[in-house]
Structure formats: C-alpha cells, structure tokens
C-alpha cells in the first residue's frame, strides 16, 4: 500500500511539473511591441533580462525580429532597433543578416566598439560559410603537406626551371607611406628604392637618393654608408638574400615547414604554412589555394625590434622574364609606424650586377 502511495505522489509531482511547463506562455512579438510602447529600449532590455532569468521561450522567427527592428529603425528609434537586434542575436547567433543590421544600429547610437564586434561576427560567419563550401567541393584536390603547397607556389610563379635560369634580379620600386618624410623617413613620399639579387645568396637594398644601403651574402649583413661597410648583426636581412622568398630551396639553412591548415584571408581560401628558421624565428605564410601565389607573410620580427609584428601582403603578380613577381607589397608594422606600400616600377632579370655591389672591398 505504501509503495502505491509513493508511486502516486511521484506521478502527481510529474503531472504538476508538466502542467506548469505547458502553462508557460512563449514571448510573442505583441509583448515586445508593448514593452517598446511602455518604455522604449530600457523597457525592452528589462523584459529581456526577465525573460532570460525565467527561461521563458521566445516565439519570434528570425524574419520577425528583423521586421520589428526595421520598423523601429524607420521610425528613427535607432536605440530600440539596436536593443531588438542584440536580443535577436542571442537567439540567432549564426544570422549574418541580424549581426550586420546590429552593427549599423550600434554605430548609429555611438557604440563603435559594439559595431566593430558585430561586423567581426559577420566576417567570421561569412568566412566559415565560404570555407565550408570550398572544402566541400575541393575534396582530394587540396595539398596534403607544406612541401606540396610550396611546390605549387613555385609552379604558379613560373616553374622551377624558369627560376633556376635567374642569376640576377633587379627591382626598382617606389615607397608610399604616411607622413611628411614617408614611411621610411628617407626621401619622402614615393621615394625610389632598389632591391638587387645575385646568386648565390647576395642581396642589396637602398634608396636611390641616399649613399646608404644594406647588403648581405646570406651570412653577414652590412650597413653601408659613404663606402664604409659595417656589420650590423641583423639576421633578418640574411633571409632576404634568397630569390622567391626562400621558397626555391625551402629547407636550406635548417628551416622547417608545417601545413597548419586551410583558412580564409580576404574572403579567399588560403593554405596556412608555418616556417620556423634555425634560430627559432617563425613566420606564418599564406598561399592562395586557387592561384598558388604567396599572398601574406606574418612575422613576429621587425628589424631592430623583435617584439614587434610585421604583416606583409603581396598583390598584382606579373610576368618578368618567365617568372612571376608581386608588383605591389603592403606592410603593416603596428605601432612601429604607419602602413606603407612598395610598388614595383620596373624589374629586370639577368642583367650584369658586379659582385662588388654586394660585398665589402677585399683588403
């Protein structure tokens, strides 16, 4: 008998709980509109807090949220639209439409940080969707490791044989950056620069208007001023001595490569490859999947300030004597200085470049 009573009590308790849950009325659009009429965005935010605390379900679809917010926006109530869309984003976290409208509304009411956060979410959702579609249709066509990514890049920029036939390379560039004297502080806006390469491993860079330049043989780096060659110990420039960003002989000097994965950069699918140099410095390399071109290098090292970060992006690849080179480079060094660009004005392959241009005079 006692057992039957206990079972009856349990069943009654369950039925009561179920009845209480069934009695909870979902929040409707009408209730939201009532709150807005009664107290605007403050009343709406109070209702949101109450609803979340009580666990009351919300019966609005994504389209209804957007429609209601649009109506408030059209009436000039940007704060109410922002409050509605922020609540909607909680229920529809993967809606690009809601997050985009929320960014606009937040900006309109002066919440710039919130607007940036919302746009960041929009870009993240777009990136995730694009990457998912790309991976679904790519199948087995993706590179399997870093060496395959690098080889695809070499082929995309002319092929190994074409690069092997390059003995010298001369680039004439213009440097564009913010500030009165330009990003470099030398020669002003649009200053001319020369970069020269000669096999094996010789590199020189300097401004046309200056007697100063930097040169390296891949082991030692010299600062040269008015004919005086002074070693500076900056290993970053030794890595510039190799043609094609050091990707023709990628493991030379003990460098290691790792394929981190496939990502999206500027809405373009890219391979993310990590390069670790023998001294421990790492670079993040990004190669466009479809073209094979290197499109960005991110490094924690900037000459003279190893705690800074450098972001270099590459654009506008063109044919030069059988190889392809980026004619536009944009570099961002964070607080070290304003972003600046390098635009190739002309490029020459296999012109005569004397060894004395790269090495100090023999004593």
Task: Please tell me the pTM assigned to this model.
Answer: 0.68
Location of structure tokens 């965005």: 41
- Distance, CA of 46 to chain centre: 38
Look up residue 42 and give its two tokens: 């403050």
Q: What is the mean pLDDT of residues 59-81?
A: 90
Given pLDDT bands bounded at 50, 70 and 90, which one contains residue 173? very high
The whole-chain average pLDDT of the chain stands at: 82
Residue 165: CB atoms within 10 A of its CB come to 14
Per-residue pLDDT, averaged over 104-109, amounts to: 90
Q: Which residue has the tokens 């807090």?
A: 49
Helix, strand counts (H, E) of the chain? 8, 13
94 pLDDT tier (thresholds 50, 70, 90): confident
Quick one: how far is CA 84 from the chain centroid? 31
4 confidence band (pLDDT: 50, 70, 90): very low
Q: Among residues 347, 353, 326, which one has the least CA distance to residue 167?
A: 353
Q: Which domains does the chain have, with CATH numbers?
A: 27-136 (1.25.40.10), 146-357 (2.50.20.10)
The values of phi and psi at residue 332, to 5°, are -125, 125
Q: Find, among 169, 193, 204, 215, the residue nearest to 342 by Cα.
A: 193
Rounded to 5 degrees, φ, ψ at 80 are -70, -40
**If pLDDT is split at 50, 70 and 90, which confidence band does 183 have?**
very low
Average pLDDT over residues 182-194: 61
Residues of the chain with pLDDT > 70, as a percent, come to: 81
List alpha helices for the chain, DSSP H. 2-23, 29-54, 62-74, 78-91, 96-108, 112-138, 146-156, 160-164
Tokens standing for residue 17: 């709980």
Residue 109 has pLDDT above 80, yes or no: yes
Mean pLDDT of 254-272: 88
């Amino acid at each position: 008998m006692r057992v039957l009573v206990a079972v009856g009590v349990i069943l009654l308790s369950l039925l009561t709980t179920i009845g209480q849950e069934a009695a909870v009325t979902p929040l409707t659009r009408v209730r939201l509109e009532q709150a807005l009429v009664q107290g605007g965005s403050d009343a709406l935010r109070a209702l949101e807090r109450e609803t979340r605390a009580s666990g009351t379900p919300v019966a609005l679809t994504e389209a209804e949220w957007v429609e209601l917010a649009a109506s408030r926006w059209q009436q000039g109530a940007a704060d109410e639209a922002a409050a509605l869309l922020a609540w909607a984003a909680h229920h529809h976290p993967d809606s690009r439409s809601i997050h985009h409208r929320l960014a606009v509304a937040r900006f309109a009411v002066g919440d710039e940080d919130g607007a940036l956060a919302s746009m960041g979410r929009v870009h993240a959702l777009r990136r995730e969707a694009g990457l998912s579609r790309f991976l679904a249709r790519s199948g087995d066509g993706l590179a399997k490791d870093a060496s395959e990514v690098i080889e695809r890049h070499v082929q995309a920029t002319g092929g190994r044989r074409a690069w092997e036939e390059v003995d010298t390379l001369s680039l004439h560039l213009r440097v564009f950056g913010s500030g009165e004297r330009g990003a470099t502080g030398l020669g002003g806006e649009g200053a001319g620069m020369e970069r020269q390469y000669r096999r094996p491993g010789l590199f020189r860079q300097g401004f046309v208007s200056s007697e100063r330049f930097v040169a390296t043989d891949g082991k030692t780096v010299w600062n040269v001023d008015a004919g005086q060659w002074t070693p500076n110990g900056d290993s970053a420039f030794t890595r510039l001595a190799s043609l094609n960003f050091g990707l023709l002989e990628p493991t030379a000097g003990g460098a290691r490569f790792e394929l981190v994965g496939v990502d999206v950069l500027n809405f373009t699918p890219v391979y993310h490859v990590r390069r670790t140099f023998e001294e421990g410095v790492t670079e993040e390399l990004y190669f466009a999947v479809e073209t094979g071109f290197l499109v960005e290098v991110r490094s924690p090292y900037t000459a003279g300030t190893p705690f800074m970060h450098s972001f270099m992006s590459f654009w506008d690849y063109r044919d030069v004597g059988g190889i392809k080179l980026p004619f536009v480079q944009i570099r961002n060094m964070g607080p070290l200085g304003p972003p600046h660009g390098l635009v190739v004005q002309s490029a020459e392959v296999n012109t005569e470049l004397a060894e004395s241009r790269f090495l100090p005079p023999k004593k």
